[in-house]
Amino acid sequence: MTAYILRRLLQMLPTMLGVILLVFILFNWVGGDPAYVLAGKMSNPEQIANIRRQLGVDQPFYVQLWIFIKQIVTFDFGSSWSTGETVGNILKTRLGPSMTVLIPLTILETLLAVALALAVAFVRGSFTDRAVMVACTIGMSISILVYIIVFQYWFAYKLGLFPVQGWGDSLLENLFRYSLLPILIGLAVSVAPSLRLFRTFVLDEVNQDYVRTARAKGVSERRILWVHVLRNAAIPIITYVMSNLPALLIGAFLIERFFSIPGIGREVILAVERSDFPVIKAITVYVAAATMLFNLLTDLLYQAVDPRVQLK
């Protein structure tokens, strides 16, 4: 196990270097000269030259690439061009609010979608099965903006069950007050596609030989689904859930924006609007690193779920 983990970590290095090189090229060659972005419209050549010298973009490209690599290794991307806040502090303070919403949302979505997928598979082909699939299709066709507006109007404004916006300093207050409505909206949006996909995974296993053998031995249909089928369907489910985790940090920007949650997704949108390159580059690189680490964790979970899986 240890040898496998070390080998996978070493294999990540070339991929990570490729990501770093791609991000560097995009921002330094394609993204334009940042000195003109910072100088604004009322600038002169002396101001632009001074800004280029302060940012180090007047250096040769190999020197700038080395500086960029050192920033990644030392977790020091300097300061935001817009606010002056250090990028490291931005990542440290914005990650917590995002995790406060995304971790409960991911856990609840996975458990609910798996339970409903097994329940629908139990009555597969029936009217209930078809009705649930039609409801999922309708739910997937509605924009998340509609969910946000409707839920905020009815549950927050009309019924007063949740605050419309806000974020506090206490973890418990944020978790059980401010994040409840965003989590509810996230569930309404994400359960439908997850349920359809997980149902497909379950039905793929229902027709396997081991299921027919279990039925021939007199095992109940409920036990077949919840014990035998679920264990084998868990591998593609784990793959789907783990592969979506890094993207959730960025993909939740609409919820964070509408509910004024100071998370990573909201910070990315603000950085793009302000052309705040240090923040965008840092988040891009670290999301790529998180994706590779989650892929490794996925492989380890495979063996935990199914001991037949061999890590080589």
pLDDT-derived band of residue 105, with 50, 70 and 90 as boundaries? very high
The CATH number corresponding to 92-305 among 1.10.3720.10, 3.10.620.30, 3.40.50.720, 1.20.1250.20 equals 1.10.3720.10
pLDDT tens track for 218-230: 998 888 888 889 8
pTM here is 0.86
Tell whether the model's pLDDT for residue 247 goes beyond 80. Answer: no
Distance between CA atoms of 204 and 200, rounded to whole angstroms? 6
pLDDT tens track for 112-128: 999 999 999 889 889 99
Q: Are 243 and 297 in contact (CB under 8 A)?
A: no
Q: Residue ranges of the domains in the chain?
A: 2-74, 92-305
Question: Tokens 């998340």 belong to which residue?
Answer: 144
Distance between CA atoms of 257 and 82, rounded to whole angstroms? 18
Alpha carbon 310 to its chain centroid, in Å, reads 28
List residues bridging with 86 in a β-sheet: 79
Buried b (16+ CB within 10 A) or exposed e, 257-270: ebbebebbbbbbeb
pLDDT at position 128: 93
Nearest to 104 by CA among 178, 28, 14: 178
pLDDT-derived band of residue 304, with 50, 70 and 90 as boundaries? confident
Asked which of 141-150, 200-209, 271-280 is least confident by mean pLDDT, the reply is 271-280
Phi, psi for residue 58 in degrees, rounded to 5: -85, -5
pLDDT tens track for 8-24: 889 899 999 999 999 88
Nearest to 224 by CA among 213, 214, 234, 216: 214
